[in-house]
Amino acid sequence: MNESVIIDAVRSPIGLKNGKLVGIRPDDLTAQLVKNLLGRNENLNLDKIEDLILGCAFPEGPQGMLMAKGVAALAGIPEQCAGAVVNRFCGSSMDAVHQISSKIEAGDIQCGIAAGVEDMFSVPMGGFNPDFHPELAEQEYYIGMGETAEILAEEGKITREQQEEFSVKSHTKALKAWDNNQFENEVIAIDVYGESLVERDEGPREPDLDKIKSLSPAFLENGTITAATASPISIGAATLLITSRTFAENNGLQIRASIKGRSVAGVDWRRMGIGPLPATEKVLAKTGFTLDQIDAIELNEAFAAQSLYVIQNGSWDISKVNQNGGAIALGHPLGCSGARIITTLLNVLEQQNAKRGLATMCIGTGQGIATIIERD
């Protein structure tokens, strides 16, 4: 079987409401990233890129019209490259990575690009015209994500204070990573139509503890989750160049990691935040690794309560989790986040001279997704 390998991975800074990234088209944002990715790998003949799969949670409006093929054209990739958009909500771009990886391992292609983008300001959560099935609505299939996190907080006896402590650490770790140039190799500065150059994530900030403690519950009147303990609405993109090992060796491309395992899992949609637990169990079983053999973990921080529930119930070593901060500090642009956390994981492994990492996340509608990568 062919082995799929990651040649390179980059992401944009993640922008917040009223920030400098708001206003750039998501296809232009992604195309800039893809151009930079290819520019960093000059040995690659662009004619050999066979497919570009792009994850997006709400592919309509400026994120519609089969954006992936348009991104390829904007990035200067020849017309022979195909394109597809995949929607698995928060797991969309990790699914794009899985699809490119699987195509390579099946021998269908030798070289492809996986990407993800979400502009949560130009396309609202739920899209422009949501239409709910009445039977599913009765079953709470469309339950709000914040409410699902409140369910886990209550079930796991996770206090507001514990959530706030987790969130503060997310910010302090992200700020430290920026101060120590640990995002330097993964973040590409974005030119917003000549009006501004965005070089840094807009989310991480020095925590104001008094303000955090003063916030009202965001989802339930007597709830424990606030705006400070949930990932912020945001805009961002990420992209990876993935090939077969043979293709990389034959074309003078440096391999940064191999993709060792992939998994998805379904769970109760009312407890969608538990998704990383069965997804992780499945990918560990498929690869034969144990959790102790995982050196670093990137867990998408949809909510502090959800993250803590997964870490506690999975008996994960919290010191291995999100060592450069997570989505509570950085932001969670839905369709971007899967590719983003794999990109961050790759850099964390390199910074620590570690070997093996796990990226995993929960998904609205009740799912989990996971990927294991390994440095050569």
Active site residues: 90, 332, 362
Q: Give the whole-angstrom CA distance, residue 119 versus residue 334.
A: 8
Q: Which residues contact 190 (CB under 8 A, 6 or more apart)?
A: 12, 13, 21, 24, 29, 32, 33, 197, 198
* Tokens coding 70: 């348009």
DSSP annotation of 185 reads T
Q: Give the whole-angstrom CA distance, residue 336 versus residue 89.
A: 10
Among candidate residues 362, 29, 357, 343, the one with its CA nearest the CA of residue 184: 343
Spatial strand order of the sheet with 356-363 comes to 82-86, 51-55, 111-119, 235-244, 4-11, 257-266, 367-374, 356-363, 296-299
Q: Give the whole-angstrom CA distance, residue 75 versus residue 11.
A: 15
Q: Give the whole-angstrom CA distance, residue 376 versus residue 242.
A: 15
Q: For residues 335 and 26, is the Cβ–Cβ distance under 8 A? A: no
